[in-house]
Amino acid sequence: MMTTTRPHTQAGSLNGLCIVDLTRVLGGPYCTQILADHGAEVLKIEPPAGDETRGWGPPFIDDTAAYFMGVNRNKKGLVADLSTESGQHFLRGLLQHADVLIENFKPGTLEKWGLGKDTLHEAFPRLIHCCISGFGADGPLGGLPGYDACAQALCGLMSVNGEKGGDPTRVGLPVVDMVTGLNAAIGVLLAVNERRASGKGQYLDISLFDCAVSLLHPHAPNYFASGKVPGLTGNAHPNIAPYESFPTANGELFLAVGNNRQFATLCRVLAHPQIAQDSRFIDNAQRLANRQALHEQLVQVLAAYQASELADELMQAGVPASPVNNVAQLLAHPHTSHRNMVIEHGNYRAINSPIKLSRTPARFRSLPPGFGEHNSEYAKE
């Protein structure tokens, strides 16, 4: 069941914060939607050709790709050609009243237009300038374009994602872009908080490369400690067993057994308590050393069970477990509705904010803007 959400006007925790958003595609728009959901005024300035994700479909909603619609709600839509003097003048007018500028241009682009970080800092000393890029502005890869899948490949994520004996595989969603957006939002809030004491803005350097590297847990710590290069393990965890998916009579079941108590409970619920007493499986170190034998035993036992029903029973008993749902099953799950994780407004449906504040919750205030929809409101700037 979908959750119907109507626009709200109640102020959020970031009410009064003005953000000029020059970002496109995903990392930047994901960042600014987080801030907009919590009350910031976000002015999304698109180039004359528009944010390219408006055309990344099908599917489309009223001629705009669902991809764009998923990360651009609660924003004002403006259009300006920043390569022209009039566009630069328009931007400077907006920055007179802005708290934050967020952009993801290739390093050097704003400098070419006379809007580099030093120029902006001199003109707007309280401005927080967040730059999202592929690799930062300098260094061996500095200034080069960055893309999520390439970052996954370069930074080791693909090397630990895939079935053992198979090929490295991209994570099936743009995890680097989205984590970069999250880190950018965190950085903006850190800088806003610091400005309360100093009265000064600062420059935030957020790169896909750095954010991808930061995701390598526990693989990087394991490598630092052992010198062993991590490899493909499929759904299995490198440090814990059993912590992977298993076939059942009607679908895949994921078990995430993190300690001996949970393992003993699992075996009891499965009516095979002797497995927990087997010396090969007596603790996590032994279960890891004998992972294949444990996997084979559990596969035999689980073949008699239904994934969803068993997952419910195990969770009630304190053992983390879940059926492997597809997207439709997840969106139809009653807990998704209970947690208000889907916004539905007319033909607009989207994932809601997961950040829940008791007094100033995230609010859906407006649909993703049409191309240049709000230019007339800001033309006087």
Per-residue pLDDT tens for 12-33?
999 999 999 999 999 999 999 9
So which residues are the catalytic ones? 177
Q: Which residue has the higher pLDDT, 8 or 286?
A: 286
Q: What is the largest CA-CA distance in the chain?
A: 77
Inform me whether the pLDDT recorded for 278 exceeds 60: yes
- The pLDDT of residue 56 is above 70: yes
| CA–CA separation, 107 and 85 (whole Å) | 20
* 247, β-bridge pairs: 252
Residue type at 263 in one-letter notation: F
Cis (ω within 30 of 0) for the bond into 58? yes
Distance CA 341, CA 361 (A): 13
**pLDDT at position 100 over 80:** yes
φ, ψ for residue 174 (rounded to 5)?
Answer: -75, 70
pLDDT at 11 (0 to 100): 82
Question: Percentage of residues in the chain with pLDDT exceeding 70?
Answer: 97
253 forms beta bridges with: 246, 323
Question: Is 22:203 a contact under the CB 8 Å cutoff?
Answer: no
Q: At what angle are helices 307-317 and 260-269 packed, to 10 degrees?
A: 130
Confidence class of residue 207 from pLDDT cuts 50, 70 and 90?
very high
Where helices occur in 202-258 by DSSP H, the ranges are 208-214, 219-226
Specify the pTM.
Answer: 0.91
Domains of the chain: 18-215+357-378 (3.40.50.10540), 243-324 (3.30.1540.10)
Closest residue by Cα to residue 182 from 75, 78, 108, 71: 71
How far apart CA 191 and CA 193 sit, in angstroms, is 5
Whole-number Å distance between alpha carbons of 94 and 127: 11
pLDDT exceeds 70 at position 9: no
Per-residue pLDDT, 10? 67
DSSP 99: S
Q: How far is CA 198 from CA 18, 102, 160, 193, 201, in A?
A: 19, 21, 43, 9, 8
Instruction: Please say if the pLDDT value at position 265 is more than 90.
Output: yes
Tokens standing for residue 109: 């682009």
Compute the average pLDDT of residues 293-310: 96
Phi-psi map region of 74: left, alpha, beta (phi>0 left; psi -120 to 50 alpha):
left
Q: Work out the mean pLDDT of the chain and round it to a whole number.
A: 94
Number of C-beta neighbours around residue 169 at 10 A: 16
From the list 176, 137, 139, 183, the residue with the least C-alpha distance to 154 is 176
Per the document, the length of the chain is: 381
Residue 325 structure tokens: 């749902």
Q: Above 80 in pLDDT, residue 3? A: no
| Residue 379: per-residue pLDDT | 76
Q: Are 131 and 111 in contact (CB under 8 A)?
A: no
Amino acid (1-letter code) at residue 300: Q
| Owner of token pair 């076939």 | 247
CA distances for 195 relative to 14, 17, 100, 201, 338, angstroms: 15, 13, 11, 6, 38
The end-to-end CA distance of the chain, in Å, is 44
Tokens of 96: 């007179």
Cis before residue 242, ω within 30 degrees of 0? yes
Under DSSP, the state recorded for 304 is T
